[in-house]
Structure 1
Amino acid sequence: MATVAESGRPHPVARERNFFFWIALAIAATTVAGFSFQFAMGRSSLASPWWVHLHGVTFMGWMAIWVFQNYLVWSGRVNLHRRVGPIAAVYVAWMIAIGISATMLAAANHRIPPFFEPSAFMVMDWTYVLVFAGLTWSAVRLRAKSDWHRRLMLSGAIVVMAPGLARLLPLPLLGGWIYWGVWAGLAVYFAIAMAWDIATRRSIHPAYFWGLGAITLGVALIRPIASSPPLLALTARLTG
């Protein structure tokens, strides 16, 4: 029987490492493209408040860490990857604090885009950052199971990509479907990952169902939570 090397195909482990590294680069590129597009169109500028820049640097910092972690695995430096892991896990807590507070500051300073309802915008942002954190910390907890770890980390990265991806979409034209429009964009990346699993494993890993299921549930709950009396009261208090 011919071995993998004899057949000229990369080893299955190498193929998987290649996939996760290249999709990490694609997700990072999409995120950068979204923010760069808004900057080029004049909708974003360096004159934004300091907390806007802090939020951007914080979340782009995570994307850089995640791509670097995938690079370490891709290049075979797994021991360094494991040493960086705890730092990344703690960094997620910082992202939650910055994400929630920046959204509240956006409401208080009337910086929410006009095609969003303020209360729904806040719930949407909080939903994405909390789902991202839940998936990422679950991946850390399951780090001994590399198949789960990689796919949950990828799921979290797809979710946290939402703000960058959304800036590439014609959101004002989506009307009442705006939240599901962003979801559909994220679902494309889940579909790519699932298709890879089908091609290489002959089945979809359950981690992706958890990832896509979590963000789907979160999006479905945006409007109900946003229209609840506590959220409406908080929005009124913040927006004055």
Structure 2
Amino acid sequence: MMAAANTLAGTPRNAFASERRFFLGMAIAIAATVILGFTVNAARMHWTFFALPIQVHVHAAAFLSWIILYVVQNWLIVRGSITRHRQLGVLGAGIALTMVVLGIVTTVMAIQQHRVPPFFPPGIFLVLDVLGVIGFGILTAWAIALRKQAAWHKRLMLCGTILVMSPALGRLLPMPQLGKFAPLAVFASMAVFVIAGMIFDLRVRGKIHPAYYWGGGVLVVTNVLVGPLGFSLPVLRVVERLAA
């Protein structure tokens, strides 16, 4: 009887530890995908790193810093270093705000400098990147606001980070061969990460946490709007002015 009681008492703790390891694993998977995507892109392109515009370097530094910090933050949670996790959270909030601003600025400047990837119409490129980084900002800000509710915080933070994977996925996937289905392929690839979180919840918690419905909802809405907005007359006029 005593052994059985100890086993039952340890079960929630084991599930809690398993959940922490899962989020660390997801962070590592996201980081590996992002690094692989940009490494593959660098290998196939004929340009030198230092020849790129300064805003591209700043943009890349900010986004890479976020990905690295996201892995470190989950690693600290697995270790139980909650205080250090909270201290670095202040830095993370600053990086997140910088990413939103830089994401929009860099996208606009890419259109102005005619550096839009050839497989994306300029309007689609503008809307996809801007909506993605705004969605990231919304989910990350919400996660920070709910930082004392760990279940919400970690899931919203995961969904927000998934939203900024699209540039890396666009470089990793065979976009020219996908044609008009390229944006859908990027969306489906990001959705895989959200679905993985939902499946984990079902296996460990017995139900899907509502944070995934909100995070997944933002992912769906931003991608559903890409086509209609990307080819809308107001956006096409903006793109025309920027590229003039």
TM class, shorter-chain normalised?
Answer: over 0.9
**Corresponding letter in the other structure for 2:122:** P
Return 27-36 or 2-11, whichever deviates more: 2-11
Work out the number of aligned pairs and report it: 240
Task: Give the match for residue 103 of structure 2.
Answer: 99
- 1:150: Cα distance to partner? 0.5
Task: Give the match for residue 173 of structure 1.
Answer: 177
1:178-217 Cα offsets, whole Å, 9 max, x none, are 2111000011111111111111011111111111111111
Unaligned residue ranges in structure 2 (runs of 5+): none
**More helix per residue: 1 or 2?**
2
**Corresponding letter in the other structure for 2:167:** P
**Corresponding letter in the other structure for 2:31:** A
Structure 1 residue 214 corresponds to structure 2 residue 218 = yes
Task: Give the match for residue 198 of structure 2.
Answer: 194
Task: Give the match for residue 51 of structure 1.
Answer: 55
Alignment partner of 2:101: what SS? Answer: helix
Structure 1 residue 61 corresponds to structure 2 residue 61 = no
Pick aligned residue for 1:16 from 11, 15, 19: 19
Task: Give the match for residue 71 of structure 1.
Answer: 75
**Corresponding letter in the other structure for 2:216:** L
**Corresponding letter in the other structure for 2:117:** P
> Quick one: distance in 1 between partners of 2:235 and 2:12?
55
Is this contact kept in 2: 1:197–1:205, CA < 8 A?
Answer: yes
- 1:8: Cα distance to partner? 9.6
Task: Provide the TM-score with structure 2 as the length reference.
Answer: 0.93
Pick aligned residue for 2:115 from 98, 111, 114: 111
**Corresponding letter in the other structure for 2:99:** M
Pick aligned residue for 2:162 from 158, 163, 175: 158
- 1:226: Cα distance to partner? 2.1
Structure 1 residue 205 corresponds to structure 2 residue 194 = no
Aligned in 2, Cα 1:44/1:2: closer, same or farther, shift over 3 Å?
A: farther
**Corresponding letter in the other structure for 1:91:** I
* CA-based RMSD: 1.9
Structure 1 residue 136 corresponds to structure 2 residue 140 = yes
> Quick one: distance in 2 between partners of 1:7 and 1:61?
37
> Quick one: distance in 2 between partners of 1:10 and 1:222?
42
- 1:108: Cα distance to partner? 0.7
Aligned in 2, Cα 1:65/1:190: closer, same or farther, shift over 3 Å?
A: same
Task: Give the match for residue 33 of structure 1.
Answer: 36
> Quick one: distance in 2 between partners of 1:125 and 1:99?
7
Return 227-236 or 27-36, whichever deviates more: 227-236
> Quick one: distance in 2 between partners of 1:7 and 1:80?
26
Task: Give the match for residue 130 of structure 2.
Answer: 126
